[in-house]
Structure 1
Amino acid sequence: MHDFKRGDARNYPAKPFVKQRIFHRLFAMYRICLFLCVVISCVTSQEAEEPISYTCTDGYTFDPVRQVCKDIDECALVPDACKGGMKCINHFGGYLCLPQNAQIFVSNGDEYTPTPAPVPVPAPRVPETRRFIHSQALTIQCSSGFVLDEQNYCRDIDECSTGRHTCTSDQVCFNTRGSYTCQCQPGFQKNGDQCVDRDECHQAHYCMHRCINTVGSYYCECNPGYKLASNNHSCIDVNECEGSNPCQHQCYNILGSFICQCDQGYELASDSRSCQDIDECSYSNFMCQYQCVNNPGGYGCTCPDGYQLQGSRICQDINECERGHDCREDEKCQNYHGGFRCYPRNPCQEPYVRTAENRCVCPSVTSVCQGLPTTIVYKYMSILSDHSVPADIFQIQATNMYHNTHNTFQIKAGNEDGEFYLRRSSNLSAMLVMTKPLSGPREHVVDLEMVTHNNVINYRSSSLLRLTIIIGPYAF
C-alpha cells in the first residue's frame, strides 16, 4: 500500500470512495484464507497421507523440477576419479577410466562417431568401474602397437617377444611403447641396414697407452715396463727389481723400466744387465810402481824380489842386511836397491895394510910402496837404475890439512865411457857427477885420486878412493 501524503493534491488527488473499495477487497480475501486453513487442518487431523518418493539407479539423481532421473557427471564431481594418468570418460549412469590413447566410438546402433584422444604415458590397469549405461553401445579401438584386453584396456604389444619385428639376426630388438627399435650389438654400429664393427680405438676410449680394436670390442695394452691395472684401462709401473732380479749385481726400478749398476771394479756389458770385470791395469801404466795385477772387481800391485809393498802401489827396498843375510863372518853385508852383496871385511891387498875399516895404507919404509898411492879407501854406494842426469852422486873430501899444500882431483879409472866427471869444489873437496844414466843391475867401480903438493918442502903424495857404485835393477 502506498502511504499517500496529505496536501499532495497535484500528484495524488484525494478520493475517499477509492480507499473504501480497497478495504472491502482485503477483508474478503482474509475470510477466504481463514476458511481454507480450517478445511486443511480438519483434513490433516482426520487422515495422514504418505509422502511421494522417487528412487534412481546408481549413477543417476532425481531432478525435482523435471521430475526425472538425470545422469551424474562423476568426472566433474569426483576429485581424481581416475588414477595413474588415466582419462575420465563420463557415461550414462557412470564413468570409465581409459588410457589417454584410447579412441571412443559412441553409437545409437546406426553409425559410429570416433572421438580421437591424445597419446601420453601408459597408466596402470584401469579399475573396474561399472555403471548403469543406457541403450547406447560403447566400442574402444586401440592405436597401432596396442591391443585391447579383456578389461577393455589398451595394452602395449611386445613385438620383440612375439616375433612381430623386422630386426635382423645381428640386431637386438628393444620394445618401446606402441612400437620397437632395432639396435646393433654392443661394439657395432649401423651402416645403412647392416651392423658393422665400431672401431673404438678411433673414437673415444679409455686406454691409457695403446688401444687394440677387435670385432665387436677392444682391449688395452700398456707400454713395456707397465701392466694393466684392475680396471683393464689404466697402466701401472712394473717393479722389475722385485722377484727375479734381472740385473747381475744391483737393480734400480724407474718408471716404465729399470737400470742395472755393477759393483765397484765392474762395468755393464753390452746387454746392460750383466757385469764384467774392469781391467784397471790396462788404463794406465802408473797404477802400480812395479806391476799391476788385475783381480775380479779390482786390482793389486806387486813388487819384485828385494822389495816390499808400501801402501797400495809403492815398492820399498828390503834391507836384507838388517833382516838377515848369508854373508860369511869375514864378509860384511852391503845393501843396495833390490838386493845385497857381500864384501870382504879386509879389502887390503899386499903391500897394503888395513889400518881402519875400509882403509888400507902402504908402509913407506918398503920400496914396493914407491909410486903407489899412500892410502886406499874403499867406499860403497847404491843408486837407482836409469837415474836422471846430471846428478851429484858422491863427494870426495881431504882429511889431512897441511899448510901451503895444494890438492888436485881426478878420475883415475872406471870412466872409460865417460859416464862421470869430477867437479872441483874447493882445495879440499870435489864432487863426482854422473853424466849418463846407468841401467842395472850393475856394479861400477870408479877410482878417484887426490894428489897433494907442497912446493915449499917439495912434498907430493896421493890417496885413492875406490868407489863401488851398485846400480839397482829398477828405477825405484
Structure 2
Amino acid sequence: MMLTVMFLAAFTLTTVNSQETEETITYTQCTDGYEWDPVRQRCKDIDECEIVPDACKGGMKCVNHYGGYLCLPRTAQIIVNNGREDTAAESTGGRNNVIRRTPADPHRPPPNPTHQIQCATGYEQSEQNVCQDIDECATGTHNCRADQVCINLRGSFSCQCPSGYQKRGEQCVDIDECNLPPYCHHRCVNTPGSYYCQCNSGFQLAANNHTCVDINECDANNPCAQQCYNILGSFICQCNPGFELSSDRINCEDIDECRTSSYICQYQCVNEPGKFSCICPEGYQVVGARTCQDINECETTNECREDEMCWNYHGGFRCYPRNPCQEPYVLTSENRCVCPVSNAICRELPYSIVYKYMSIRSDRTVPSDIFQIQATTIYPNTINTFRIKSGNENGEFYLRVSIVGGQTSARVQRELGDVLIKPVLQCFGCFS
C-alpha cells in the first residue's frame, strides 16, 4: 500500500510539471485540474475531492493536489512543508502514513490552459471549463413521481417519499405514526404525512406537544361558586357551612335549617343565608342560641311606682300595690290583710284575706289545676264559702269544691288556653 501511494504522488507531480511546459491555447483556458479565476485573472486548482463522486474507492480518503488528487489510507497524516516543493507519503516503523504537502503558492504563475474536458454522466462543462454537477431536480430532468420528492446528488438524483410517508412498491403511502411506539401521552390522531396529540379532559398539551399535564381549573377560572379543590384531570366543588351543592355540582344553595326540624328552636326559627337564628317572644331572651329564658323585669327595669311592688311572670311583669288591704282590713304581713274583731264591721266580713300572685304558663294543657286552697279548722262550726271574686270575666276559669276527710277545699282550674287575666279567688274562713 505504501508503494502505491508513492507512485500516485510521483505520477501526479510529474503531470503538474509537464503542464507548466505546455503552450497556452487561450488566455482564459487552463489545463486539466485547473479552472480560470476571473477575479485574480489566473488559473486555480480544482478540488476534485469535492466535485468527483466517489473519487476514492476501497475506504481510501481523497486528498486534493495540484491539478489532481490523491487517494490515501484513512490513517495517513498530512504534513505541510513550506520550505519544500515536493509531496510524499512515508511510513515510519509501522506508524500511520504521513503525507508531506507543499501548499499552493498564490504568487506562482498560473498553469497553461489546456483543451476542453470530458465530463462524467450527471456533470456538465461550466463556463470555466470545469465539470459541475447537473441539478436534475432544478432542471426538471428527473423522473420522480408526483407523490415523490426529488433529492439532488452529485452526478445524479434520488426520488424519495415526503416526510411522514414510506415507499411501498412504486407509491408513497402515509405512515400511521399512531401505530408506532407511543409518541403521544394520551391520544394520537393520524393525519396525511403527519400526526398530532390530544389530551383527555382536564389535561393540556405541554410545550413538547406530546406530554399531557393536568389543568388546575381552580387557578385557571375557578368554576366553583364557593370552594374549589383541584384533582388530577378534574376538580370538585364544596360549599361553606350552611350551604349544599346544587344539582349542577358547581353552585351552592342555602340550607333552610328551619325546615329540617320543628324542635331546632324553642320558640321560633329564622332562616338566614348559610345559617339560622332563634328568636323568643317579648319578655324572653335567647340562651344558648336556641333556648328562651324569661326576662326578670323586676331585676332589670320596670315602670312600677314606689308604692307598688313588681311581680315578674313569664314574659312580662305586673305592678301591684304594696298594701293591698282595703278598709277595714289592715296589713299584718307582706300579703295578709286582717279585719280586727274590735271593729263591728268586721263581724260580717272574712277575718283575713291573703293575696298571692302567680304566673300561669299559656302552654299548659287544659283543663288543669292552677292552685288549691283549703278551709281552716281552727274555728269550729265555721261555714266556709269559696267564690271567684274577679278576673274571670271571660269565663276561662272555674271553681271546683271538694270535701275530703271532713275538710273543704277548692281548686281553681283553667278551662281555656292563652289566658292573660289572672283570677282573684275569695274565700271566707279559709287559708291557703
Output the TM-score relative to the length of structure 1.
Answer: 0.53
Counterparts in 2 of 1:225 and 1:410: CA distance versus 1, 3 Å:
farther
Determine whether 1:359 maps to 2:326. no
Partner in structure 2 of residue 96 of structure 1: none
Q: Equivalent of 1:211, from 188, 213, 225?
A: 188
Q: How far is the alpha carbon of 1:186 from its aligned partner?
A: 1.8
Partner in structure 1 of residue 430 of structure 2: 463
Determine whether 1:447 maps to 2:425. yes
Q: Is the 8 A contact 1:249 1:262 kept in 2?
A: yes
Between the aligned partners of 2:385 and 2:166, the Cα distance in structure 1 is 117
Q: Is the 8 A contact 1:269 1:275 kept in 2?
A: yes
Counterparts in 2 of 1:128 and 1:305: CA distance versus 1, 3 Å:
closer
Counterparts in 2 of 1:417 and 1:158: CA distance versus 1, 3 Å:
closer
Q: Equivalent of 2:351, from 363, 374, 378?
A: 374
Partner in structure 1 of residue 277 of structure 2: 300
Q: Which has the larger radius of gyration?
A: 1
What secondary structure, in the 3-state scheme, does the structure 1 residue paired with 2:219 have? coil
Counterparts in 2 of 1:463 and 1:192: CA distance versus 1, 3 Å:
same
For 1:376, the aligned partner's letter is I
Between the aligned partners of 1:172 and 1:80, the Cα distance in structure 2 is 46
Q: How far is the alpha carbon of 1:235 from its aligned partner?
A: 0.8
> How many residue pairs end up in the alignment?
320
Partner in structure 2 of residue 230 of structure 1: 207
Q: Is the 8 A contact 1:266 1:278 kept in 2?
A: yes
Q: Equivalent of 2:360, from 379, 383, 390?
A: 383
Q: How far is the alpha carbon of 1:164 from its aligned partner?
A: 6.1
Q: Is the 8 A contact 2:337 2:353 kept in 1?
A: yes
What secondary structure, in the 3-state scheme, does the structure 1 residue paired with 2:358 have? strand
The gaps in structure 1 that reach 5 residues or longer are 1-77, 83-119, 130-144, 148-155, 450-460, 466-476
Equivalent residue runs for 1:43-54 within 5 Å: none
Equivalent residue runs for 1:48-67 within 5 Å: none
Q: Is the 8 A contact 1:395 1:429 kept in 2?
A: no
Partner in structure 1 of residue 258 of structure 2: 281
Counterparts in 2 of 1:210 and 1:420: CA distance versus 1, 3 Å:
farther
Partner in structure 1 of residue 323 of structure 2: 346
Determine whether 1:240 maps to 2:217. yes
Counterparts in 2 of 1:225 and 1:422: CA distance versus 1, 3 Å:
farther
Between the aligned partners of 2:341 and 2:411, the Cα distance in structure 1 is 29
For 2:296, the aligned partner's letter is N
Q: Is the 8 A contact 1:420 1:434 kept in 2?
A: yes
Q: Is the 8 A contact 2:365 2:417 kept in 1?
A: no
Determine whether 1:438 maps to 2:417. yes
Equivalent residue runs for 1:250-265 within 5 Å: 250-265=227-242
Counterparts in 2 of 1:157 and 1:325: CA distance versus 1, 3 Å:
closer
Equivalent residue runs for 1:33-52 within 5 Å: none
Q: Summarize deviations over 1:345-380 as a string: whole Å, max 9, x none.
A: 333344544433322234445665555433221111
Question: Which stretch has the larger CA shift, 192-201 or 283-292?
Answer: 192-201
What secondary structure, in the 3-state scheme, does the structure 2 residue paired with 1:281 have? helix
What secondary structure, in the 3-state scheme, does the structure 2 residue paired with 1:285 have? coil
Q: Summarize deviations over 1:140-179 as a string: whole Å, max 9, x none.
A: xxxxx999xxxxxxxx999778866432232134689999
Partner in structure 1 of residue 36 of structure 2: none
Counterparts in 2 of 1:320 and 1:418: CA distance versus 1, 3 Å:
closer
For 1:462, the aligned partner's letter is G
Q: Summarize deviations over 1:370-421 as a string: whole Å, max 9, x none.
A: 55433221111002212146766435367x7649x59998853359566675
Counterparts in 2 of 1:299 and 1:423: CA distance versus 1, 3 Å:
farther
Partner in structure 2 of residue 185 of structure 1: 162
Percent identical residues: 53
What secondary structure, in the 3-state scheme, does the structure 2 residue paired with 1:258 have? strand
Between the aligned partners of 2:279 and 2:71, the Cα distance in structure 1 is 117
Question: Which stretch has the larger CA shift, 380-389 or 361-370?
Answer: 361-370
What secondary structure, in the 3-state scheme, does the structure 1 residue paired with 2:299 have? helix
Q: How far is the alpha carbon of 1:422 from its aligned partner?
A: 6.3
Between the aligned partners of 2:155 and 2:275, the Cα distance in structure 1 is 89
Between the aligned partners of 2:179 and 2:413, the Cα distance in structure 1 is 90
Between the aligned partners of 1:242 and 1:261, the Cα distance in structure 2 is 16
Question: Which stretch has the larger CA shift, 222-231 or 335-344?
Answer: 222-231
Q: Is the 8 A contact 2:137 2:151 kept in 1?
A: yes
Between the aligned partners of 2:182 and 2:135, the Cα distance in structure 1 is 35
What secondary structure, in the 3-state scheme, does the structure 1 residue paired with 2:364 have? coil
Q: Is the 8 A contact 1:409 1:448 kept in 2?
A: no
Counterparts in 2 of 1:206 and 1:266: CA distance versus 1, 3 Å:
same
For 2:387, the aligned partner's letter is K
Determine whether 1:412 maps to 2:384. no
Q: Is the 8 A contact 1:419 1:434 kept in 2?
A: yes
Q: How far is the alpha carbon of 1:328 from its aligned partner?
A: 2.4
Q: Summarize deviations over 1:293-329 as a string: whole Å, max 9, x none.
A: 3344323233332222222122221111222222223
